[in-house]
Amino acid sequence: MTPFIPFQAEEGNIEYKLKLVNPTQYRFEHLATQLKWRLQEGRGEAVYQIGVEDNGLLVGLTEEDMTASLNTLRRMAEKVGADITLLREREVDYESDRARRKIAEVLVRKVPDDQQFLDLRVAVLGNVDSGKSTLLGVLTQGELDNGRGRARLNLFRHLHEIQTGRTSSISFEILGFNSKGEVVNYSESRTAEEICESSSKMITFIDLAGHYKYLKTTIFGLTSYCPDFAMLVVGANTGIAGTTREHLGLAMALKVPIFIVVSKVDLCGTVTVEKTVRQLEKVLKQPGCNKVPMLVASADDAVTAAQRFAQSASITPIFTLSSVSGENLDLLKVFFNILPPLSNSKEQEELMQQLTEFQVDEIYSVPDVGTVVGGTLYSSGVCREGDRLVVGPTDEGQFLRLKVCSMQRNRSACRVLRAGQAATLALGTFDRSLLRKGMVMVSPKMNPTICWRFEAAIVLLFHAKTFRCGFQVTVHVGNVRQTATVDGLLGKEELRTGERAVVCFRFLKHPEYLRVGAKLLFREGVTKGIGHVTHLLPSQNNDQNHKAHQNHN
């Protein structure tokens, strides 16, 4: 084992401590303050490496010193209202010293107060029949599958999904972990509210469709719900098939960190599973991907994978498991338990100082409540119960005033919504017919502008012929999904596969609210491209004529 690990970073939630044996009261207070700061950096989570010097030298401690150090850390955690979980112990072997010395890795997690649990969103991708919904059913319900898809029945939203066994819509499932790192799911809790109350960390799974005909729904889920991570599920019996490559490409294009789960290992022999893993490793190492595959075979591997995965975008953990026998399912739970957030508390605080911007993704009418919208508070601002916002743009390009009456997050009531969190907002008697997916609810102080035409720097990933002016594509930008016409290519007549350009797009149906720098994805049949918005162009006088022309058509 290498006697060194990387230097301790001043910022972040990882702390190295050589030993914590019988500190004085003054020293103990200082250590508790330091722990509080590390927890703040990790948004409620911190990792302590005991037996390690600040420069990363693995010194190790005797059994006696290690026990005393862990007891001190437990006291420190109690003082700041947190719990500790021993992740792993490793022996340090130095030839000069015969005494056995160990280093310990400890997770410190703060007990939730005022619903401030850590929430990570994981998009679930993969080909049809790869076992995505079944895996989520097993994780969130706490019962293994019977081999015929019983575990997934609770996840389906439509009758035809139950009949065909295929997901066609976006559904959300939650898996909680308490401050001691134990799983909290529906096996012991009757409602989502109970899970939220008992958890200090929440994994929200966004279950997406695998079939090619529902690809636009899958893209909408990836662009609109801003997942922190993506889980690509691959059937061990089928290998890389159908939409698997497409989904992998989408996640990489949108820069969503991805890890892979090879499911259904109970159906295959060891040789078939190894063949599928080798196939995945080959694809991940290709020049277009440039990923470093990491096969997870033990709890120790799962801890290492979670930490390295969050630190480096190139690391791609691979799990092999079964939803029927439960083989290696615990390794995935260990991974989720330790997986840290991508942003620290300082970045979160800065985002919260900005003005409110809520994306409208779903619209409902609820009896006795009125109009309800579901969506994500974009990575800026804070939304509170009773806030007065404006929603739009309407087909005429206007923004309408409204009031947030109440809010729910993970099906339990909440008073405050912070940047990056998903929730449903009740709008009372506001007319549902005035709303549509793709709208935004923003602070009136923002003075939001509308956009018919915009420029984007793009890469054409694939096109059968040449890409030129007048071509129509479906554009995805965040929660916006609309057909747009290519109005012009700056400095070029046409584009071919693999080429880059700045393109001017014009929306066909109605204006939209866009942000400069937002990621963009467009498609039409086999044509695909990615890029980002570079410039919003002012509305032209012929927009009204264009609208009338559309209505006439």
Asked if 352 and 337 sit in the same domain, the reply is no
| Count of structural domains within the chain | 4
> Do the beta carbons of residue 182 and residue 214 sit within 8 Å?
no
- pLDDT, tens digit (0-9, with 9 covering 90-100), for 195-224: 888 888 989 999 888 777 778 888 888 888
First-to-last alpha carbon distance for the chain, in angstroms, is: 71
Asked if 55 and 176 sit in the same domain, the reply is no
CB atoms within 10 A of CB 203: 24
Domain-terminating residue out of 80, 110, 140 = 110
What lies within 8 Å, CB to CB, of 56 at 6+ separation is: 4, 5, 6, 7, 8, 16
Cα angle vertex 471, ends 466, 477, to 5°?
110
Within a domain: residue 393? yes
Asked if 98 and 172 sit in the same domain, the reply is no
Asked if 308 and 212 sit in the same domain, the reply is yes
Q: What is the mean pLDDT of residues 288-313?
A: 91
Within a domain: residue 542? no
> Do the beta carbons of residue 156 and residue 133 sit within 8 Å?
yes
Q: How far is CA 421 from the centre of its chain?
A: 11
> Do the beta carbons of residue 389 and residue 377 sit within 8 Å?
no
Within a domain: residue 6? no
3-state secondary structure (DSSP) of residue 31: helix
pLDDT computed for residue 93 by the predictor: 74
pLDDT computed for residue 162 by the predictor: 57
Which CATH number goes with the domain that contains 28? 3.30.110
Asked if 271 and 396 sit in the same domain, the reply is no
413 DSSP β-pair partners? 408
Asked if 106 and 124 sit in the same domain, the reply is no
3-state secondary structure (DSSP) of residue 87: strand
Q: What is the mean pLDDT of residues 119-127?
A: 92
Within a domain: residue 1? no
Which CATH number goes with the domain that contains 415? 2.40.30.10
pLDDT, greater one: 101 or 145: 101
- Tokens 């063949």 sit at which residue? 275
Lowest-confidence range among 131-145, 349-363, 387-401? 349-363
Asked if 126 and 66 sit in the same domain, the reply is no
Nearest one of 298, 403, 418 to 350, comparing CA atoms: 418
Domain-terminating residue out of 389, 418, 442 = 442
Q: Residue 155 pLDDT more than 70?
A: no
> Do the beta carbons of residue 8 and residue 15 sit within 8 Å?
yes
- Tokens 């018919």 sit at which residue? 452
pLDDT grade for 508, boundaries at 50, 70 and 90 = very high
pLDDT grade for 139, boundaries at 50, 70 and 90 = very high
Asked if 67 and 181 sit in the same domain, the reply is no
Separation of alpha carbons 439 and 400, rounded Å: 11
Tokens of 510: 């109605």
Asked if 204 and 290 sit in the same domain, the reply is yes
Within a domain: residue 380? yes
Within a domain: residue 549? no
Model pTM score? 0.84
> Do the beta carbons of residue 201 and residue 117 sit within 8 Å?
yes
Element (H, E) at 299: helix 299-311
Within a domain: residue 552? no
Asked if 239 and 105 sit in the same domain, the reply is no
Q: H/E/C letters for each residue in 39-83?
A: HHHCCCEEEEEECECCCCEECCECHHHHHHHHHHHHHHHHHCCEE
- One-letter amino acid at 525 equals G
Domain-terminating residue out of 342, 357, 374 = 342
Range of the domain at 517: 450-537
Give how far Cα 457 sits from Cα of 69, 454, 521, Å.
54, 10, 11
Asked if 262 and 296 sit in the same domain, the reply is yes
Q: H/E/C letters for each residue in 420-455?
A: CCEEEEECCCCCHHHCCCCCEEECHHHCCCCECEEE
> Do the beta carbons of residue 42 and residue 49 sit within 8 Å?
no
Nearest one of 520, 518, 540, 507 to 393, comparing CA atoms: 507
- pLDDT, tens digit (0-9, with 9 covering 90-100), for 233-246: 999 999 998 889 98
pLDDT computed for residue 543 by the predictor: 46
Which CATH number goes with the domain that contains 277? 3.40.50.300
- pLDDT, tens digit (0-9, with 9 covering 90-100), for 342-358: 776 666 666 667 888 89
Separation of alpha carbons 266 and 11, rounded Å: 44
pLDDT, greater one: 190 or 308: 308
What lies within 8 Å, CB to CB, of 336 at 6+ separation is: 122, 175, 177, 203
Within a domain: residue 436? yes
Separation of alpha carbons 175 and 360, rounded Å: 24
Q: Count the helix, strand and coil residues of the chain and give each as a percent rounded to the nearest 5.
A: 25, 35, 40
Asked if 376 and 514 sit in the same domain, the reply is no
Q: How far is CA 67 from the centre of its chain?
A: 37
Nearest one of 17, 14, 13, 20 to 74, comparing CA atoms: 20
What lies within 8 Å, CB to CB, of 521 at 6+ separation is: 219, 223, 250, 253, 254, 475, 476, 477, 528, 529, 530
3-state secondary structure (DSSP) of residue 260: strand
pLDDT computed for residue 524 by the predictor: 86
Separation of alpha carbons 448 and 441, rounded Å: 10
